[in-house]
């Protein structure tokens, strides 16, 4: 995971010194966390972990690929809020950390409306970085191995710049995530925002749509259809 919390010595401005309160036991247990895309496959598991760790969690999601069903056990909980919100519109909430997962991850869904996909990646990430700057929150972006494109070196180190097609049918996601990573580092260098980037890929597990279209769910769905329907 790429992370920057102001330790760049070059042009980066040092991040604003967090209040010592941030590290107090009271603050840690009362931390307010925004999870965009929290009704999705990975986001809903993250919400489970944050809630079990006694955080205050706000989920913003437009339910394009996610479902309230993934969060049903938390609805009504005093430390949980669920907002139907599209991150391509600004969102003003007082939070201490932002986990930005809102984006369709399945090729079937992100190719369905490629312009919306790149808007979510670019404008959505801009909106979340603007919020992080406004409230002094640390922000994590879930990125992807697609930023390496069709890599020319194997295995890829995190320092590899990638070999990406800028005009293909998957570019809305691949290039969208690359721009999102660029924005993360530019907000860090220009405004000292504390950032984290996690390049997550080939994930699978409970709450993943069986016809998600990603590699592992494809293998499993094909195997099940062969066993039961051939
Ligand atoms: O415009 C959008 C698109 C999608 N979303 C939401 O974002 C969530 C995405 O969840 P998905 O289950 O589709 O995707 P995953 O949880 O598997 O992947 C997530 O983590 C890994 C990242 O690389 C993906 O970009 C991110 O979507 C869904 O709840 C969806 O409704 C928005 O809130 N706004």
129 lines ligand 1 (CB under 6 A): no
51 lines ligand 1 (CB under 6 A): no
Catalytic site includes residue 173:
yes
39 lines ligand 1 (CB under 6 A): yes
Distances in Å between the Cα of 100 and the Cα atoms of 34, 133, 160, 175, 181 are 8, 14, 23, 17, 12
Model pTM score: 0.89
Contact 63, 84 (CB under 8 A): yes
What CATH number matches the domain at 25-205, 3.40.50.12780, 3.40.50.720, 3.90.1170.50, 3.90.1200.10? 3.40.50.720
Ligand 1, atom 13: nearest CA belongs to which residue? 104
- Per residue in 54-67, pLDDT tens? 999 999 999 999 99
Contact 78, 58 (CB under 8 A): no
Distances in Å between the Cα of 163 and the Cα atoms of 76, 142, 160, 175, 229 are 46, 20, 9, 11, 40
Going from N- to C-terminal start, the domains of the chain cover 25-205
144 lines ligand 1 (CB under 6 A): yes
The closest of 163, 155, 151, 138 to 3, measured between CA atoms, is 138
- Per residue in 41-54, pLDDT tens? 999 999 999 999 99
Which atom of ligand 1 is nearest to 87's Cα? 34
- Per residue in 86-99, pLDDT tens? 999 999 999 999 99
From ligand 1's centre to the CA of 14, what distance in Å?
31
Please tell me the predicted confidence (pLDDT) of residue 222. 87
The rounded distance, in Å, linking the Cα atoms of 120 and 174 is 12
Mean pLDDT over the full length of the chain: 91
The residues facing 57 across adjacent strands are 33, 80
The closest of 102, 92, 100 to 135, measured between CA atoms, is 92
Contact 197, 141 (CB under 8 A): yes
| The one catalytic residue among 173, 187, 204, 228 | 173
Contact 121, 37 (CB under 8 A): no
- Per residue in 192-202, pLDDT tens? 999 999 999 98
From ligand 1's centre to the CA of 47, what distance in Å?
13
- Per residue in 102-152, pLDDT tens? 999 999 999 999 999 999 999 999 999 999 999 999 999 999 999 999 999
Which atom of ligand 1 is nearest to 36's Cα? 33
| 157: CB partners within 8 A, 6+ apart | none
Ligand 1, atom 33: nearest CA belongs to which residue? 61
From ligand 1's centre to the CA of 37, what distance in Å?
5
Interface pTM, i.e. ipTM = 0.96
From ligand 1's centre to the CA of 168, what distance in Å?
21
């Amino acid at each position: 995971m790429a992370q920057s919390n102001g330790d760049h010595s070059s042009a980066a401005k040092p991040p604003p010194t967090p209040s010592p309160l941030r590290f107090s036991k009271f603050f840690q247990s009362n931390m307010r966390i925004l999870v965009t895309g929290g009704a999705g496959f990975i986001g809903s598991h993250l919400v489970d972990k944050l809630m079990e760790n006694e955080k205050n969690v706000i989920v913003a999601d437009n339910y394009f690929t996610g479902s309230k069903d993934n969060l049903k056990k938390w609805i009504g909980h005093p430390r949980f809020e669920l907002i139907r919100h599209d991150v391509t519109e600004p969102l003003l909430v007082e939070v201490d950390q932002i986990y930005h997962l809102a984006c369709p991850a399945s090729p079937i869904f992100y190719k369905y409306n490629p312009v919306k996909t790149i808007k979510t990646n670019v404008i959505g990430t801009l909106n979340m970085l603007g919020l992080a700057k406004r409230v002094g929150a640390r922000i994590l972006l879930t990125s992807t191995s697609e930023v390496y494109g069709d890599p020319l070196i194997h295995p890829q180190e995190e320092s590899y710049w990638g070999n990406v097609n800028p005009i293909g049918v998957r570019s809305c996601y691949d290039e969208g995530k690359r721009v999102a990573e660029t924005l993360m580092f530019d907000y860090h260098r220009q405004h000292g925002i504390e950032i984290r980037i996690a390049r997550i890929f080939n994930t699978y597990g409970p709450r993943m749509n069986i016809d998600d279209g990603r590699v592992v769910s494809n293998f499993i769905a094909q195997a099940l259809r062969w066993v039961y329907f051939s």
